[in-house]
Structure 1
Amino acid sequence: MDILITIQHPAHVHFFKHAIDEFEARGHEVHVRALDKDVAVDLLDEYGIDYEVVGSRGDSLAGVALSTLGIEYRLFRAARDIDPDVVASIGGFEAAHVAKLVGAECVVFTDTEHATLSNALTFPFADEVATPKCYRDDAGSNHHRYPSYHELAYLHPDRFDPDPAALDGLPVDADDTYAVVRLVSWGAAHDIGDEGLDGLTDLVGRLEDAGATVLISAEDDALPPELEGYAITIDPHLIHHVLAYADLFVGESGTMASESAVLGTPTVYVHSANPGLMRDLASFDLLFGYHGEHRNERAADRAVDILRSTDADWESRRQRLLEENVDATDVIVERVLAAVE
């Protein structure tokens, strides 16, 4: 078969990378088309995945609209040449539209209920919408739920083994007590109107007082100047190793929060939204979400409590999560191949 996969975000590279290997090992041709978004292209290069760039999003509302038209047109031209049997994407309304235009099956994966505009533009055109079982909304008659999370496509223990050498160059070792704080730029369409962490200087001080070295990972200009000394620079493909050895994650990034939780790292998530994924991770007592009024004070209190606790068995909580959820790469391969059977 010819399989066309679209990449709109760095996390999508992680999600599909093992499935691409599986498809190719079975003799299928995989064609990757990517947006030049953050470090997505860097990750594709790092993993040796062949791809072509079909554009990037604009910065303003008008720029997004115009760039989206260009992206969809270039993707259509590519698909017309490839003549794919199936198109797969995370979200990606352009992929769903183009699949219809070229007569290909379309499998869309998503775990983000609050991406309401993107979902509305995507779901009616997809042949299947595959979501984790914790997804709270109804995606329609072609909705397929499976027992896993996106993050378990690349962080399941069958797919990922943390390496302490990945911390070389950082001011911590794997055995040190450290906390990772993640700040986002709030530039995504589904981030409009959302908000996360405030009082960062106070938070960092409290984490340090609780005995942790603080490492801050920040998008674009999200980091206040007074905290620039805490910023870390690390190759993007190594960040999961840093999360795996951390004693705490605090952040506004849903992707990195869920990654930390499935790795067994206690996670404090601060955000306006509370999607089904976060609620499900919270049921294993691996993630603690704080939303609405006074979320920052309550989140900081929880973070300090985690650092000072001595009796929490985070690994046993992770093992329970793994027992109830499957390797998501197996799901990707199954659903994509089933689309044309």
Structure 2
Amino acid sequence: MILLKIWIDISNAPHVRFFKDVIKYLEAEGEDLIVTARQFGDIHKLMNMYDIDFISVGKHGVSLYDKLRESTSRVYNLVDIIADENVDVALSKHSIELPRISFGLGIPSLYVLDNEHALAANKLTLPLCDRIITPRKIDFWKLMKFGADPNTIIPYNGTSELMHFKSFNYNDDVFKDLNLKLEHEKTILMRPEPSLASYLDADCRKSVLSPIVDELKEHANILILPRFKEQAEIFEGIDHVTILEPPVDTSSLMKKCDLVIGAGGTMNREAAILQTPVISCYPGDTLSVDQYYIDSGLMYRSINPNQVISKALEFLNNPHERIDLKTDDLFQIIIDNLYDLGKNGK
């Protein structure tokens, strides 16, 4: 049996959960893995929590200058690691550096995409990828405008968050394990916006959630999962508000809570999959992957604080019934294409 040498690059915290079962599966199959990860948010903590061996390479930049400088530096350092490894196939999700390095070194690459609004990232990567796995909900014409070859696009029904629950074991005692002091009967989990992301123009010391928290804290316990220190400081010292320190079992938290309100994307879609009522108040343009769940009745979206508050109170009293959703096996799609590329090339 011919084993493959596979390179996986992880550049954002949600990608750890996305790839963890792929990594464990490939390790069990005896494949030779190189996993690289940049220093950003909770990536390293999550890698350690899931017991994934990795090489730390590079970090995140805040300003445009920093982003360019750090990405350029990361390409330089990754090339030194990968060049002599005889990698058969490379895999990533929205990594800026992996497609560029794979293209330069002649390594077939498999790319997972779920954000058609990440303009800079998509322009820099999609023209260089050998295969692109993307939700069917995303308009292929938008990807082609970035330079993606339509023959490389592999659509599926669903969103990437399906991967997060392949081996999910619900912990009903998650509140107790976190020693939460909850005074209200109902509990809401909130996630602030991705203020440091290149695709969103936002102030990291403010949050669209603030007026929503101020009103709903009188009706429910509020759990805040900040992305970084400055976001935590926004909500410190508010009654009935608990600031969670990651990493935590967010999947069990979302399932246990009565409602999720998110100004980002990933956790909102995870909540929809778990059938927990969820409200998106993401301040940017609506992503196609969010629209998928909105159209299915599993997500409500508004950027009007009063509308969010009104819908939240409605959900707390009358959560929606379970909604059946037909999706494809994204895990198997990734594995099949990874092996096909690794053994047969482009």
TM-score (norm 2): 0.88
Query: Is 1:216 matched with 2:228?
Result: no
Please list the CA deviations of residues 24-57 of structure 1 after superposition, one character each: whole Å capped at 9, or x if unmatched: 2222111101100101011111111111011102
- How far residue 137 of structure 1 moved from its aligned partner, in angstroms, is 3.9
Return the alpha-carbon distance in structure 1 between the equivalents of residues 235 and 77 of structure 2.
43
Q: Supply the AA of the counterpart residue of 1:297.
A: N
- Kindly indicate whether the alpha-carbon contact (under 8 Å) linking 1:113 and 1:137 is maintained by their aligned counterparts in 2: no
Match of 2:171 among 163, 174, 180: 163
Return the alpha-carbon distance in structure 1 between the equivalents of residues 235 and 169 of structure 2.
35
2:158 paired residue number: 148
- Kindly indicate whether the alpha-carbon contact (under 8 Å) linking 1:197 and 1:251 is maintained by their aligned counterparts in 2: no
2:132 paired residue number: 129
* Residues 225 and 194 of structure 1: CA distance in aligned 2, closer, same or farther (over 3 Å): closer
Q: Supply the AA of the counterpart residue of 2:301.
A: G
- How far residue 2 of structure 1 moved from its aligned partner, in angstroms, is 0.6
Match of 1:241 among 240, 246, 252: 252
- Kindly indicate whether the alpha-carbon contact (under 8 Å) linking 2:192 and 2:208 is maintained by their aligned counterparts in 1: no
2:146 paired residue number: none
Identity of aligned residues (%): 23
- How far residue 218 of structure 1 moved from its aligned partner, in angstroms, is 1.6
Return the alpha-carbon distance in structure 1 between the equivalents of residues 65 and 207 of structure 2.
28
- Kindly indicate whether the alpha-carbon contact (under 8 Å) linking 2:71 and 2:96 is maintained by their aligned counterparts in 1: no
* Residues 172 and 264 of structure 1: CA distance in aligned 2, closer, same or farther (over 3 Å): farther
Q: Supply the AA of the counterpart residue of 1:186.
A: S
Higher mean C-alpha displacement, 217-226 vs 147-156: 217-226
* Residues 226 and 79 of structure 1: CA distance in aligned 2, closer, same or farther (over 3 Å): closer
Q: How does 1:191-206 map to 2 (within 5 A)?
A: 191-192=200-201, 198=208, 200=210, 202-206=211-215
1:275 paired residue number: 287
Return the alpha-carbon distance in structure 1 between the equivalents of residues 296 and 181 of structure 2.
28
Return the alpha-carbon distance in structure 2 between the equivalents of residues 181 and 40 of structure 1.
20
1:89 paired residue number: 92
Q: Supply the AA of the counterpart residue of 1:276.
A: S
Return the alpha-carbon distance in structure 2 between the equivalents of residues 227 and 34 of structure 1.
31
Return the alpha-carbon distance in structure 2 between the equivalents of residues 336 and 84 of structure 1.
12
- How far residue 115 of structure 1 moved from its aligned partner, in angstroms, is 0.3
- Kindly indicate whether the alpha-carbon contact (under 8 Å) linking 1:154 and 1:329 is maintained by their aligned counterparts in 2: no
2:65 paired residue number: 62
Q: Supply the AA of the counterpart residue of 1:72.
A: V
Q: Supply the AA of the counterpart residue of 2:305.
A: N
> Over the residues paired in the alignment, what is the CA RMSD in angstroms?
2.2
Return the alpha-carbon distance in structure 1 between the equivalents of residues 246 and 67 of structure 2.
28
Aligned-partner SS, 2:56: strand
Question: What is the aligned length?
Answer: 326
1:265 paired residue number: 276
Query: Is 1:287 matched with 2:299?
Result: yes
- Kindly indicate whether the alpha-carbon contact (under 8 Å) linking 1:197 and 1:270 is maintained by their aligned counterparts in 2: no
Aligned-partner SS, 1:250: strand
Please list the CA deviations of residues 58-115 of structure 1 after superposition, one character each: whole Å capped at 9, or x if unmatched: 2222111111111011111111122211111011131001111221100110100110
Aligned-partner SS, 1:231: strand
- How far residue 161 of structure 1 moved from its aligned partner, in angstroms, is 2.1
Show structure 2 runs of 5+ residues with no match: 144-148
Q: Supply the AA of the counterpart residue of 2:269.
A: S
- How far residue 197 of structure 1 moved from its aligned partner, in angstroms, is 5.3
Query: Is 1:334 matched with 2:309?
Result: no
Please list the CA deviations of residues 268-325 of structure 1 after superposition, one character each: whole Å capped at 9, or x if unmatched: 001222011011011221111124xxx2221221111111226x31xx21xx12xx11
Show structure 1 runs of 5+ residues with no match: none
- Kindly indicate whether the alpha-carbon contact (under 8 Å) linking 2:89 and 2:107 is maintained by their aligned counterparts in 1: yes
Q: Supply the AA of the counterpart residue of 1:169.
A: L
Please list the CA deviations of residues 154-204 of structure 1 after superposition, one character each: whole Å capped at 9, or x if unmatched: 224xx212102332234268x95210111135101112369995362x422
Query: Is 1:325 matched with 2:327?
Result: yes
Match of 2:199 among 167, 190, 195: 190
* Residues 136 and 301 of structure 1: CA distance in aligned 2, closer, same or farther (over 3 Å): farther
Return the alpha-carbon distance in structure 2 between the equivalents of residues 224 and 46 of structure 1.
25
Return the alpha-carbon distance in structure 2 between the equivalents of residues 228 and 252 of structure 1.
21
- Kindly indicate whether the alpha-carbon contact (under 8 Å) linking 1:7 and 1:35 is maintained by their aligned counterparts in 2: yes
- Kindly indicate whether the alpha-carbon contact (under 8 Å) linking 1:218 and 1:231 is maintained by their aligned counterparts in 2: no
Q: How does 1:5-24 map to 2 (within 5 A)?
A: 5-24=8-27
Q: Supply the AA of the counterpart residue of 2:164.
A: Y
- How far residue 131 of structure 1 moved from its aligned partner, in angstroms, is 0.5
Query: Is 1:113 matched with 2:116?
Result: yes
Return the alpha-carbon distance in structure 1 between the equivalents of residues 212 and 104 of structure 2.
50
Aligned-partner SS, 1:15: helix
Q: Supply the AA of the counterpart residue of 1:336.
A: L
